[in-house]
Amino acid sequence: MTDRKKELLFQGALLALLIVLFSKILFTDKIIRAPDIINEFYWGVKSLGSLPFWKLFDINLSSAGWDMYINSGFTNEGGGAAGQFLFTQKLIFWLFPPPASVAWYILFHLFVGAAGTYWFCRTIGCGQLGSFLAGLVFAIAPENASLINAGHVMKIATISITPWAFFFLEKGFRSRRVIFFLSAAFILAVQFFHGHWQVAYYTCLAIGVYGIARSLCIVLADEGGKKEFGRLLALNLTLLVFFLTTVAMSLVPLANWSKETNRGVNSGANVTASAGQSEAKGGLAREEAMSWSMPPEETAAFIIPGMFGFSRQEAGPNPSNIGAYYWGRMNFTQTVSYMGLLPWLLLPLPLIFRRDRYTWLAFSAVVVGIFFSMGKYTPFYNLLFDYFPGINRFRVPKMIMFIPVLGLGVLSALAIDLLLDPAVRASRAFKGYLIGVVALPVLLLVLVGVEVTTGNFWVNKFIDIIAQPTRYEPQSEKLVLQRWNNLVNETWIAAGLAAIFAVVFALYQRGKLTAKLLPFVLIGLFLVDTGRVNSKFLFLVDEPHKATAAQSPEIAFLAKQPKEFRTLPMAGDPMPYAAAGIPVMFTSNAVQQRRWQEFLDNFNLGSSMPDIMNVRYLVVTREQYEQDKGAYSTKYRTVFVSPNGALMILENQAVLPKAWLAPVAVQVPNPADALGALQNPQFDPRVIALVESAPPIPMAGPGAALPPVGPGQVRINKYEAEKIDLEAAVTMNSMLVMGEKYYKGWKATVDGKLTEIYPVNHVLRGIYLTPGVHKVEFVFDPTPFKIGKYLTLISFAIFALFLGREFWLARRAKGAGA
């Protein structure tokens, strides 16, 4: 068999094994029980299966994207438009029927990550069996695989690209050819296009460190002479520049969009005093940014996976094969920190027998990644948070753990090669290594003994932690007992597994187990070990009903109402409503526009706040209505009751039209004052517009006499997601107020002339109009998206030219050889 066929065989074996391991979620009519899938992701991809095949390749780059159906209008300024280039995503959801299509998409990317790890290991000289194990470590280590439980589909997809970036970069360092540096940059851009920007950012950090370290290794080792320094510098700069231009379609608009979010430079977080002045650096506040830091004691879960319990979903049914749910010091976690016992047992071998650049780089990835994930518990992360650009824009430091998993995979590949080397096996150092392997189960058994004999002492000593209730489980003696028993049981299991590994290594040392069989035995034990843990995170439930008129009477009623008005579902997830084409006021987003978040934090149903946002309908349960009937009945009337009586739709009788004329402008520069005024029941938004700067035209003041006919009339001629046309007949200087969010990407013209849009009532947009009949047009057309789009398309063209050149050179070389 040729080498190429062997490589394909190992790739096929990786895919086949992953299909078997995850068959439970692949071959089913149920869906993964994860809120992020059931409430969000599933609704966005389900319709792809009904598209004609050729529609999968449609790309529309003319629009930056303003979604009128979610969150009272939402955009990231086109930062997600590059996702249209992810044809594999569309193809998978077109090929496989829902809901299992979500699981197949996850499996595809786990395979992509496994294959990338395999090829990186092969590039640095690892054997096929070792590289195969490395791919498995990356794909099925519970630290990565348990992301399925959280429903972090796009996080898995983004993580899977990381090994390929290292593969192409290493190929570039070995060959000094620009095509590989361009390929690494292109891969990093594609990773960014998958939409999980924190993972992409962490990958870029790791790639940057790897690139600097490899360059220094080459220069200091005098490979080709120190003249290589200039060439390496040029190649690294080429990678950086080409990455920035290729990713520009996402990066440029997102950089602009993020400024006004609750993590942006204008968010007011991380304010530091300097010379009596306050300087807002933006980003997340320190405590929020570090709340998902991995406590140092949880490194014990690398060996004893359930030491601090296992994850539990936020709501709904949960698996029954979990002895205790997570009770550690993080707020909560949906994943587990375990990576399998085998990689840790193999880790010392390269450190003992192969102390080369790849060993130290992989080991550094493990150590630095773990310290990084500890976040607030280490000075290291605190320094980065204060001084390194971008770190304070993200929360969940533990999310970087996919980098240590990759490092462990590489070290495992190196270790397998060393195990199969007769010289290593015969060395005295290897016998010392075996003593360490045997010592582990002994130590774990001692730990079990301590837990069993002195359990009451340790429970009492750490009662504040062990008895700490969660938002799912109240404090009780039963809870403490459950957690302690689970800890003891998991320690027993870890001790037993470690003992089995020790026996296997001992048999190999004595020649009772051949070198040909050893890797397969180790891989088999690794699969059993990780499979036991992963099984706790592969929980299925029935497919959620699609929000169609036939299946949901309340949605059928709302779907018939004008799109100019919004609905506020207060009895469940709003996404089914949005998926049915019903504009909803609020949907949960981790990153919100700053103004909008402040508005939500102060939102009051009894005030004018729902009125100005065009919230015409509330969806409540019967219980909610009966509990707050007095508050609802003064402003809202019942217009629909579901056939089973469980849900009610209430109509807001004070809702404002999509656009109106306010003749009075009151300058209120302080957001807190403006939000306080909006909550005041006496505030009348039909008359008064709260603005942040002095009006450019004379406006009536509070209490001024107004004409009997009012300030005029407004008529909406066209209402679309990214374009609104209207006609205003104005009788006096007024502010035209739209029941739409203020956002800098919108542009307005009055009678064909560009005019400035002002923030009104803190979150709305408005323009000033003088008396007369005016044609007004609002268009969503952010400039950063257009700049980024053209940079990306130019980069695509350049990359295509380089690929074409490579193809031409390969054919010419083949022809010359013939």
Mean pLDDT of 650-670: 95
421: pLDDT confidence band, cut at 50, 70 and 90? very high
pLDDT at residue 274 is higher than 70? no
Max CA-CA distance within the chain?
Answer: 103
Structural domain spans, the chain: 3-42+106-271+283-540, 553-652, 659-781
4: pLDDT confidence band, cut at 50, 70 and 90? confident
Q: Give the DSSP H or E segment for 8.
A: helix 3-21
Strand pairing category for 688-691 and 664-667: parallel
Q: Give the DSSP H or E segment for 494.
A: helix 477-509
pLDDT at residue 266 is higher than 70? no
- Give the span between the Cα atoms of 326 and 189, in whole angstroms: 35
Which fold, 659-781?
A: Maltose phosphorylase, domain 3 (2.60.420)
112: pLDDT confidence band, cut at 50, 70 and 90? very high
pLDDT at residue 273 is higher than 50? no
Q: Give the pLDDT confidence of 225-256 residue by residue, as tens digits.
A: 567 888 899 999 999 999 999 999 999 999 89
- Of residues 571 and 273, more confidently modeled: 571
Q: Residue 394: CB partners within 8 Å, gap ≥ 6?
A: 198, 201, 263, 284, 289
Contact yes or no for 324/482 (Cβ under 8 A): yes
Q: What percent of the chain has pLDDT over 70?
A: 95
- Give the span between the Cα atoms of 654 and 645, in whole angstroms: 25
pLDDT at residue 272 is higher than 50? no
pLDDT at residue 188 is higher than 70? yes
Contact yes or no for 311/335 (Cβ under 8 A): yes
Mean pLDDT of 11-26: 96
Contact yes or no for 255/586 (Cβ under 8 A): no
- Of residues 353 and 277, more confidently modeled: 353
pLDDT of residue 549: 40
Contact yes or no for 409/381 (Cβ under 8 A): no
Q: What is the dihedral of CA 31, 327, 405, 434, to 10 degrees?
A: -120
pLDDT at residue 1 is higher than 80? no
Arithmetic mean of pLDDT over the chain = 91
pLDDT of residue 278: 44
CB atoms within 10 A of CB 20: 10
For the entire predicted model, the pTM comes to 0.90
275: pLDDT confidence band, cut at 50, 70 and 90? very low
Contact yes or no for 586/600 (Cβ under 8 A): yes
- Least-confidence region, from 264-268, 330-334, 653-657, 761-765: 264-268
- Give the span between the Cα atoms of 144 and 146, in whole angstroms: 6
Mean pLDDT of 521-542: 94
- Give the span between the Cα atoms of 248 and 250, in whole angstroms: 5
pLDDT of residue 560: 92
Q: Give the pLDDT confidence of 135-166 residue by residue, as tens digits.
A: 999 999 999 999 998 888 999 999 999 999 99
